[in-house]
Amino acid sequence: MIFSLSIALAQINPHLGDLGGNTALIVNACAQHKKADLIVFPELSICGYPPEDLVMKPSFVESCREAVMTVAEKTKNLDCGIILGAPWREFDTDKLPYNAAILLHKGRIEAIRYKHELPNYDVFDERRIFSAGPMPEPVPFKDHMLGIMICEDMWKNRAARHLKNAGADVLIIPNGSPYTIGKHAQRLNLARERVSESGLPLYYINQVGGQDELVFDGGSFVMDAGGNLQAQLPFFREEISAQKNESRSGYTDLSHSYEALKLGLGDYVRKNGFSSVLLGLSGGVDSALVAAIASDALGAKNVQAFMLPSPFTSQESLDDAAALAKALKIKLETISIEEPLKAFEQTLPYLKGLPHENIQSRIRGTLLMALSNSTGKMLLSTGNKSEMAVGYATIYGDMNGGFNPIKDVYKTHVYELCRWRNAQSPVIPENILLKAPTAELRDNQKDQDSLPPYDILDGILQGLIEHEMSVDQICQDSRFERETVLKVWKLLDQSEYKRAQSPPGTKITEKAFGRDRRYPMTNGFVKSVG
């Protein structure tokens, strides 16, 4: 049979929990694309993904059911079918609800299919909150048989084969698939495997937008029965359609990473009721990147920067921060911390060494939080993943903030992203990228006084964090000395309590600190090694 359905992919940005807003978003999209035979929305589109323990509240699940029926009522005069997602509880069971894909047509629920494969790894713990559905059966619709598989059902091979054998003539896959570096290529490869196994065309619809630490990149696509990409929706923005190929020229891991960080920050700020942010500028590369991301995400007028110099702040840093603010067209104010520092020195005459360095950071953190309170602007912290990993940050100091856009960005990647951003338009002064990193908390201080060079440090950290490698495995690489690897491992372990109290930040790697990597704060294992 010739496949003749016109299918529109609705790559929307839902606001998790805002059932009224999401319902309106879905209804408006249907009204604008009512000429399609079928409009497909992402996984759990009625409530947003991932809903986490909201699903454990019966009132939430019931409200989602009511929202689905509202969509059905408001689209009953349209001829198009609608596939949307919602948590769904069967009335005659006390089981956990299901992750459901629901087909609406002319005001009625025509079919419901449940997610069969529930992911239980990395940031996903769906087995905790959902019941696994049976293997999905094809859904008849307008002389076709729809094979509906929800997200993880595509990542395994059982559902596609079952649907093909049961008579499906197309695979339709609603998703809530968060971005990580290289993720889209992985999706395409898996889609080709399912197409190859089934011989069926495939429609893949992903949501877009930031949700807490996750960011969804969209990139929905259509693949024909031969595994050829027939249509590609944009990355990192809402779009409804799948009629034309989009050129992917210009898309790189760096551009995707930057767009993910920008969207993750922008949505976190806006969806939590803020419109503007503030941050401390140091004249260094990390705060420069955060300022650029914030300016691009929210607009320069919504970013306020503060320079908080101490007796150890160099004129070079003051000049670099001023040049950055001017290039970005963001406001910059200077507030000296010398007087508060003197007060602490007089109160605590024994304040020397590391405590003296940390008190400077804590003074800055206190002032920035006070400015956030008084202005209603969200404070951004600016520590990179390398620093967060080894504890090269001050708890209740520079770790203060409501969100950290570069929490999952290694230091070497920070430089790469700055170079990429400057290639679009030069905003980060070259001197910031060339000078040696320093916290400027004592005379002539450099990061490399306390840490290995960042290319070495990041290589070791990626082995320990992303790949869960042992010290022996990492030391097989001739670049890394065993003493250095052991030092980094111990620092990583000892800093768990700091990370547990750090602000959230956008995930872009396979193992971000937080739900990806749940290590104990009290841990004696590392002390038995070496």
Query: Residue 151 catalytic?
Result: yes
CA distance linking residue 395 with residue 498, whole number of Å:
6
In the three-class reduction of DSSP (H, G, I as helix; E, B as strand; rest coil), residue 37 is classed as coil
In the three-class reduction of DSSP (H, G, I as helix; E, B as strand; rest coil), residue 479 is classed as coil
State both tokens at 298.
């929210």
Residue 239, beta-bridge partner list: 11
State both tokens at 120.
């239980």
State both tokens at 69.
């029926």
Residue 205 near residue 9 (C-beta atoms within 8 A): yes
Strand locations in 18-57, DSSP E?
38-40
Tokens 């760096």 sit on residue: 254
State both tokens at 105.
């047509």
Torsions phi, psi for 413 (to 5 deg) = -70, -30
Query: Residue 466 catalytic?
Result: no
Tokens 């109290």 sit on residue: 501
The active-site residue, picked from 30, 80, 151, 475, is 151
Residue-wise DSSP of 28-83: HHHHHTTTSSEEE--TTTTT-S--GGGGG-HHHHHHHHHHHHHHHHHTTT--SEEE
State both tokens at 446.
């450099």
Burial of residue 143 (CB within 10 Å: 0-12, 13-18, 19+) is exposed
End-to-end CA distance of the chain: 66
The active-site residue, picked from 30, 64, 115, 385, is 115
CA distance linking residue 222 with residue 231, whole number of Å:
5
Residue in 234, 294, 247 with CA at minimum distance from that of residue 269:
294
Q: What is the DSSP letter of 392?
A: -
Query: Residue 30 catalytic?
Result: no
In the three-class reduction of DSSP (H, G, I as helix; E, B as strand; rest coil), residue 47 is classed as coil
State both tokens at 35.
């000429």
Q: What is the DSSP letter of 312?
A: T
Residue 204, beta-bridge partner list: 173, 221
Residue in 40, 49, 41, 43 with CA at minimum distance from that of residue 18:
49
CA distance linking residue 176 with residue 169, whole number of Å:
23
Tell me the one-letter amino acid at 72.
A
Beta-carbon contacts of 409 under 8 Å, excluding residues fewer than 6 positions away, are 257, 261, 289, 384, 385, 417, 508
The active-site residue, picked from 30, 43, 475, 511, is 43
CA distance linking residue 152 with residue 154, whole number of Å:
5
Burial call 37-73: b when 16+ CB within 10 Å, e when fewer: ebbbbbbbbbbbbbbeebbeeeebbebbbebbebbbe
Active-site residue list:
43, 115, 151
